Amino acid sequence: MTEKKPQLKVDQLSICYHTKRGDLKAVSQASFTIDQGQSVALIGESGCGKTTLATSIVDALPMAASVTSGRILYYQDQKEIDLLKLKRKDLRPLLWSEISMVFQASQSSFNPVRKIKTQFLDTVWAHDRSRSKEEILQRASELLRVVMLDPDKVLNAYPHELSGGMKQRTLIALALLLEPKLIILDEPTTALDLLTQEKILRLLKELKKEHGFSLLFITHDLGIVSELADKVVTMYAGKAVESAPVETFFRSAEHPYSRGLVDAIPRLTMDDREIVSIPGTPPDMIEQEIGCPFAPRCSRCLPVCKESIPESKPVPGGENWYCACWNPMSGGDACGNHR
Ligand SMILES: Nc1ncnc2c1ncn2[C@@H]1O[C@H](COP(=O)(O)OP(=O)(O)O)[C@@H](O)[C@H]1O
Ligand code: SF4
Ligand SMILES: [Mg+2]
């Protein structure tokens, strides 16, 4: 087996929003790795920090946010680059050509006063002036066709002339245009109808096989996760509480929150559809936490959980499997000590 090489490492990353009520810890010491060619799903309830984390990779955090600790290491050929240390002018050449992101609110990603065609041309020319207009538009048309859009219509349109779903698909095409090594998709299919979602997914799978890029995608849909992910990272209240290969996640997630998400999938095989959702709501991330943030909702909560925050540790006997929990589903704590 060939050794896996990392494409991106998120290392102990913490990000705060400065709000009137105080600092909101949107991401708290999150760590995980995306290998070359690997597809990683970032999951968790709304508000748990997924968009904030993904946005920090491409230096697009809102003004109110600041990274308070950690590193984001990107691997370009043999070189390790800490993206957080790069000056904006040094990061710019990497965007679109090495790393591209389709934002959750992708509707506002286009310049409203420029035709889509111009925006495709500008994106390529910002990196490579030698490419001809014809060559770029031909590739743009191919990609737009792949995402099931009419290239002539879309390229000659202004952003406001496209529907939300069309804009999102156009952005997926733009994200693929320079064949980046890492593509980040924040809820890429939520604005799309089911049939289009299905097609886009199939397309992403095919393109990934063909071009071998790495993928970080955020979704609420565990069906998409099972189709597209190699690895799943579960976030809760800003923390990456579990990171596991996709089969391991669905078969035997160790963190009670991950398990709750898996159990919330409708059991279509059962006579009557039974959905077990996780009672309660995530905590206020402005308040100072003392113990595990999931404790108030957790049926496996022990006294230690309320006193001390569990660290992410390798799951004993597991491979590329990490969990932050004092009393995981298998009974032992994350260090393998059975209670
Ligand atoms: N611009 C902002 N200013 C203040 N708080 C924000 C801002 N954007 C997001 N947040 C807060 O940060 C937390 C994480 O949000 P987000 O990263 O969007 O989560 P997710 O993508 O998982 O839904 C939430 O509590 C959210 O309210
Ligand atoms: S640390 Fe304790 S409260 Fe937190 S998820 Fe694990 S068992 Fe539940
Ligand atoms: Mg989000």
- Which pLDDT tens digit goes with each residue over 191-218? 677 777 777 777 788 888 888 899 999 9
327 lines ligand 2 (CB under 6 A): yes
What is the tens place of the pLDDT at every residue in 58-95? 999 999 999 999 999 999 988 999 999 999 899 988 99
Given a cut of 90, is residue 223 above it in pLDDT? no
User: From the CB of 33, is ligand 1 less than 6 Å away?
Assistant: no
Number of alpha carbons in the 13 Å side-chain half-sphere of residue 198: 3
Q: How far apart are CA 37 and CA 4, in angstroms?
A: 9
With a CB cutoff of 8 Å and minimum separation 6, the contacts of 157 are 115, 116
Q: From 259, 290, 305, give the residue whose CB has the most ligand 2 atoms within 8 Å, as the site to mutate.
A: 305
pLDDT at residue 338, as a whole number: 47
- Asked if pLDDT for residue 268 goes beyond 80, the answer is no
Mean pLDDT score, 311-319 = 94
Cβ–ligand 2 contact at 236 (below 6 Å): no
> Does 310 sit in the ligand 2 pocket, CB within 6 Å?
yes
Residue 136 contacts residue 124 (beta carbons within 8 Å): yes
- 28 CB less than 6 Å from ligand 1? no
Continuous segment of H or E residues that includes residue 39 = strand 39-43
Q: Express each pLDDT in 19-43 by its tens digit.
A: 999 999 999 999 999 999 999 999 9
Ligand 1 atom closest to residue 235's alpha carbon, by position in its atom list: 22
| Residue written as token pair 């063909």 | 210
Please say whether the beta carbons of 213 and 181 come within 8 A. yes
Percent with pLDDT over 70 in the chain:
92
Compare 266 and 80 and report the one with higher pLDDT: 80
Highest mean pLDDT among 100-114, 153-167, 181-195: 153-167
Band the pLDDT of 12: cuts 50, 70, 90. very high
How far is ligand 1, taken at its centre, from the CA of residue 49, in Å?
6
Output the pTM of the full model.
Answer: 0.92
In DSSP notation, 3-29 reads PP-EEEEEEEEEEEEEETTEEEEEEEE
Instruction: Name which of 229-233, 268-272, 303-307 the model is least confident about.
Output: 268-272
For ligand 1, atom 7, the nearest C-alpha belongs to: 17
Instruction: Please report which confidence band the pLDDT of residue 273 belongs to, taking 50, 70 and 90 as the band edges.
Output: very low
From the CA of 257, give the closest atom in ligand 2. 5
> Do 97 and 123 form a contact (C-beta atoms < 8 A)?
no
